[in-house]
Structure 1
Amino acid sequence: MAANVYECMFILDSSKVAGNLDAADKQIRATLEKHNAEVLVGRLWDERKFAYPIKKQKKGIYYLTYFSSEGKNLVPIENDFSLNETILRLMILKIHPKLVETMLKLATGEHAAALHNMQEDATGDDGVPVDLGVNDGPGQRRGRRHD
């Protein structure tokens, strides 16, 4: 059976990781390698506040990993990660074979973090925010009614 490439987004407990992201990275890699998965890329994505508490935590560290494995190994991998108290949540997605090369290139490139923060930091030479066209919808929202 051929190995597939998967993308896994972890939400880590920021109070338990507390600046020691290397230890969390080693734990994640060790668990994946224990189940015969090959880690292709693993990197910090972002640290954010949650919209609602997850396991009584208000913020967490998002960590992105790409790995190749056989499909039969996914359930044991998810079970092992569910026992890890550092991991609040995780989501594993199968990457389409046509997109694997592009996704890995973006994940390993230095510009990956810049692409992620592009919308937040987009300002022109005059300091005015630049419209990136990301949130263009059918039109502007209507304001409040004053009755």
Structure 2
Amino acid sequence: MAETQAALRLREYETIFLIKPELTDDNVDRLKERVRGIVNREGGKVLRFTVWGKKKTLYPIAKQPRAIYVHTHYLGDAKMVAEVERNLRNFDEVTRYLSVKIADEVDPESRPVLEDVKMAGDVEEARPGAPEREVPFRSDVADEVGESEEEGTEEA
């Protein structure tokens, strides 16, 4: 009886993977379904996919300054995670991935399957760099700066 209860217990994992930024939403959905199929085939349970959208990376990855971030939350065992990572490594669209174990011995019945979420990502698509502050030109500030420079020359 202890073996059947241990067999029903799974570990909780999350995997975040980066996808090339030029992929369309349909291609991202196809990639999600492939990962979902791998988890289901290996005896796991996908709890939720969250597409964080296109974001700027800290440094260029695969010569791209941006990537589409996808977060996967699922239940399974270590062999299943190795299989998911092996497949992510072989997908040309995926540039990076990272899997993390969240909890041990989780009852799959206690974790409901949640609806997939798609977030907007970065809003500032036109400006890839840091946002620049626009300072309006004020004539009174320019006059004060000019006066203080003049006063400094008189004192010297």
- The normalised TM-score by structure 2 is 0.57
The change in CA–CA distance for 1:65 and 1:54 in structure 2 (over 3 A counts) is same
SS of the counterpart of 1:63?
strand
Structure 2 residues not aligned, in runs of 5+: 1-6, 123-156
Equivalents in 1 of 2:20, 2:116: separation in Å? 26
1:97, CA displacement in angstroms? Answer: 5.5
**Are 1:50 and 1:58, in contact at CA under 8 Å, matched by a contact in 2?**
yes
1:84, CA displacement in angstroms? Answer: 0.6
Query: Which of structures 1 and 2 has the bigger CA Rg?
Result: 2
1:30, CA displacement in angstroms? Answer: 1.9
1:77, CA displacement in angstroms? Answer: 2.0
1:71, CA displacement in angstroms? Answer: 1.8
The change in CA–CA distance for 1:37 and 1:48 in structure 2 (over 3 A counts) is same
Letter in 2 for 1:52: Y
Match of 1:26 in 2: 33
Equivalents in 2 of 1:89, 1:30: separation in Å? 20
1:62, CA displacement in angstroms? Answer: 0.6
1:86, CA displacement in angstroms? Answer: 1.2
1:109, CA displacement in angstroms? Answer: 9.7
Match of 2:11 in 1: 4
Match of 2:95 in 1: 88
1:29, CA displacement in angstroms? Answer: 1.2
CA distances 1:28-58 after superposition (whole Å, capped 9, x unpaired) = 2123223222111112123212222112222
**1:39 corresponds to which of 46, 63, 66:** 46
**Are 1:3 and 1:71, in contact at CA under 8 Å, matched by a contact in 2?**
no
**Are 2:14 and 2:100, in contact at CA under 8 Å, matched by a contact in 1?**
yes
**2:76 corresponds to which of 69, 89, 97:** 69
**2:64 corresponds to which of 57, 61, 77:** 57
Cα RMSD after superposing both structures: 3.4
CA distances 1:117-137 after superposition (whole Å, capped 9, x unpaired) = 9xxxxxxxxxxxxxxxxxxxx
Structure 1 residues not aligned, in runs of 5+: 118-147
Match of 1:48 in 2: 55
**Are 2:50 and 2:116, in contact at CA under 8 Å, matched by a contact in 1?**
no
The change in CA–CA distance for 1:72 and 1:36 in structure 2 (over 3 A counts) is same
**Are 2:39 and 2:80, in contact at CA under 8 Å, matched by a contact in 1?**
no
CA distances 1:57-115 after superposition (whole Å, capped 9, x unpaired) = 221111111110012322222111100111111111111359x9xxx89x8698x96xx
